[in-house]
Amino acid sequence: MIKPALELLEVTKSYGDSTAVERMSFALRPGEFFTLLGPSGCGKTTTLRLVAGLEEPEAGEILLNGVPIASPKLGIFLPPDKRRMGMVFQSYAIWPHMTVFENVAFPLRVRGEAAQSLRQKVSEALDLVGLSGFEQRGATELSGGQQQRVALARALVYTPTILLLDEPLSNLDAKLREQMRAELRALQRRLNLSVLYVTHDQSEAMTLSDRIAVVRQGKLEQIGSPVEIYERPATTFVGDFLGRTVVLEGTVRKSEQSIFVEFPGGDGRLSIGEEQRGSFAEGETVRVVSRPEDIQILPIGPAAPNQLKATVNEVAYLGDRLEYTVGACGRTLVLVAGKQERHAAGAEIRLAFDPARLTLLPLEK
């Protein structure tokens, strides 16, 4: 097994009597782009500050390449400047009163780097982010995207073992943000950097990350690849945070060969794929979670397996597609469909589900 570049084991941090981070555990593989994703106030920045050494955990352990750098139990706490981590902070990117050169040189000056190698390293870092020639510019004489790149160069300048990025693209407009996303990912791959990234933006997390850890109120909800957490959310919170979900509540029915879910007031039932059968009991009430794009809308017809009867309540025209609000099994669902076939408000329809794309969750999740 490869040794993790960074490992958190049951790390806890409170402010007063509120717990910002609770028993947080995850491991970052070398060269991995790993993202903490969650809503405002869920403890993302606090986790990053714990890793950087700007906060001390009150319990748990943080290991860098297998070596403890923070462990209250062992009485270990390595100060930030000994951790070789590059960090781009959430709130401000760079120091406005300094030139680009001085901004990037700063971490090296703090470490007492000799003048000649300092100049060379600054020049290399600026080259990496495409800002050669900007050395003498004042930091405020740059566009937002250029300022973000200076911040990135400053975090890269002493070849950090890990790069910590706290919503580094949040101050940019949508177009620049997408461009910087692509550049950041390319740079990370080229340098094989281990990155711990923080964002509350699900599409940013999905496009950038090798793996995502979804955080809710200081606790981990799920860790997985973008595909895993989108297609197999472990909780309804994860499902909703990553996009739209369609949730039905029903009763588990088991037979020898199969398992399916029945719905109150429904005329049909849905079979559940093999890998989802888990430990659900006959008669248990469960949630069946699906993505709107995985449900097909069909004109009314004779009952067929894995279909449910529904009624169109509303149709919204979104230009490239249609959005249907439908009633099925006593619930209101929002679905999307292409424009080829249209169903008017009030129409009876059938919804076709794909058993392989259904996730079964217990009620409490």
Q: Which residues bind ligand ATP (CB under 6 A)?
A: 15, 20, 38, 40-46, 90, 200
CA separation for the pair 205, 38 (Å, rounded): 10
In sequence order, the β-bridge partners of residue 271 are: 260
Tell me the residue number closest to Mg ion, measured at CB.
45
Q: Which is nearer to Mg ion, 102 or 166 (CB)?
A: 166
Nearest alpha carbon to residue 47 among 66, 24, 29? 24
**Containing H/E element for 195?**
strand 194-199
Residue 7 to residues 1, 70, 77, 184, 188, Cα–Cα distance (Å): 14, 11, 15, 23, 19
Q: How far is the CB of 44 from Mg ion (least distance, A)?
A: 5
Interface residue list for Mg ion (CB under 5 A)? 45, 90
Q: Which is nearer to ligand ATP, 49 or 287 (CB)?
A: 49
Q: Binds 15, which of ligand ATP, Mg ion, none (CB < 5 to 8 A, cut-off by type)?
A: ligand ATP
Q: Which is nearer to ligand ATP, 43 or 233 (CB)?
A: 43
Q: Which is nearer to ligand ATP, 20 or 126 (CB)?
A: 20
Q: 324-348: b or e for each residue (b if 16 or more CB lie within 10 Å)?
A: bebebbebebebbbeeeeebeeebe
In sequence order, the β-bridge partners of residue 270 are: 261
Q: Binds 245, which of ligand ATP, Mg ion, none (CB < 5 to 8 A, cut-off by type)?
A: none
Q: Binds 291, which of ligand ATP, Mg ion, none (CB < 5 to 8 A, cut-off by type)?
A: none
Work out whether the CA dihedral 231, 236, 241, 245 comes out positive or negative. positive
Q: Which is nearer to ligand ATP, 219 or 331 (CB)?
A: 219
- Cα angle 243, 245, 247; round to 5: 160
Q: Binds 200, which of Mg ion, ligand ATP, none (CB < 5 to 8 A, cut-off by type)?
A: ligand ATP
Q: How far is the CB of 24 from ligand ATP (least distance, A)?
A: 11
Q: How far is the CB of 135 from ligand ATP (least distance, A)?
A: 32
Work out whether the CA dihedral 78, 82, 88, 94 comes out positive or negative. positive
Q: Binds 265, which of Mg ion, ligand ATP, none (CB < 5 to 8 A, cut-off by type)?
A: none
Q: How far is the CB of 267 from ligand ATP (least distance, A)?
A: 44
Q: How far is the CB of 167 from ligand ATP (least distance, A)?
A: 7
CA-based max dimension of the chain: 80
CA separation for the pair 182, 199 (Å, rounded): 16
- Which ranges of the chain does DSSP label H, i.e. alpha helix? 44-52, 100-110, 115-128, 144-156, 174-191, 202-208, 226-231, 236-241
Q: How far is the CB of 51 from ligand ATP (least distance, A)?
A: 12
71 DSSP 8-state letter: E
Q: Which is nearer to ligand ATP, 36 or 64 (CB)?
A: 36
Q: Binds 4, which of Mg ion, ligand ATP, none (CB < 5 to 8 A, cut-off by type)?
A: none
Nearest alpha carbon to residue 40 among 215, 180, 227, 249? 215
Q: How far is the CB of 46 from ligand ATP (least distance, A)?
A: 3
Q: Which is nearer to ligand ATP, 40 or 192 (CB)?
A: 40
In sequence order, the β-bridge partners of residue 36 are: 198, 213
Q: Binds 46, which of ligand ATP, Mg ion, none (CB < 5 to 8 A, cut-off by type)?
A: ligand ATP
Q: Binds 279, which of ligand ATP, Mg ion, none (CB < 5 to 8 A, cut-off by type)?
A: none
